[in-house]
């Protein structure tokens, strides 16, 4: 099973800032990496698939990069609606697909 590790666990940032979240896989997942956003009390929502492709309706301020074992999600200018938990997820080797433990974005 591929283990996904996200850092940091929590990030305190101000609206308007640029933020980068990291995700590392225990072995190469090529570019088979997705990012999901989960707001408090809500279901997750797909943001990014294929490491860098934005899902339908996702604003351009969200971007993903990386390949192999190291990936990043960048939010270019944080909006108040972006404070949430972000999960990376690999789908290169399954079953099982596996998720990271999440990074929580908090308002500074």
Q: Are 105 and 83 in contact (CB under 8 A)?
A: yes
Q: Which of 79, 51, 54 is nearest to 65 (CA)?
A: 51
Does 100 engage in binding with other proteins (CB under 8 A)?
yes
DSSP-derived 3-state class of residue 104: strand
Partner residues linked to 101 by β-bridges = none
Does 66 engage in binding with other proteins (CB under 8 A)?
no
Among 19, 45, 52, 72, binds other proteins (CB under 8 A): 45
**Tokens 């492709």 identify what position?**
53
Does 11 engage in binding with other proteins (CB under 8 A)?
no
**Tokens 């995700």 identify what position?**
23
- Tokens matching residue 104: 């929580």
Among 19, 46, 63, 68, binds other proteins (CB under 8 A): 46
Closest separation in Å from C-beta 18 to other proteins: 25
Nearer to other proteins, 69 or 103 (CB): 103
Residues near other proteins (CB under 8 A) are 32, 34, 36, 38, 42-46, 49, 55, 87, 89, 91, 94-102
């Amino acid at each position: 099973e591929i283990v996904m590790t996200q850092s940091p666990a929590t990030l305190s940032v101000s609206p308007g800032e640029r933020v980068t979240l990291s995700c590392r896989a225990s072995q190469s997942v090529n570019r088979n990496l997705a990012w999901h956003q989960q707001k408090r009390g809500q279901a997750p929502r797909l943001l990014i698939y294929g490491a860098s492709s934005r899902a339908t309706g996702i604003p351009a301020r969200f971007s993903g990069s990386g390949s192999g074992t190291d990936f990043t999600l960048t939010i270019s200018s944080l909006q108040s609606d972006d404070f949430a938990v972000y999960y990376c997820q690999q789908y290169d080797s399954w079953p099982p697909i596996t998720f990271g433990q999440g990074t929580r974005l908090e308002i500074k």
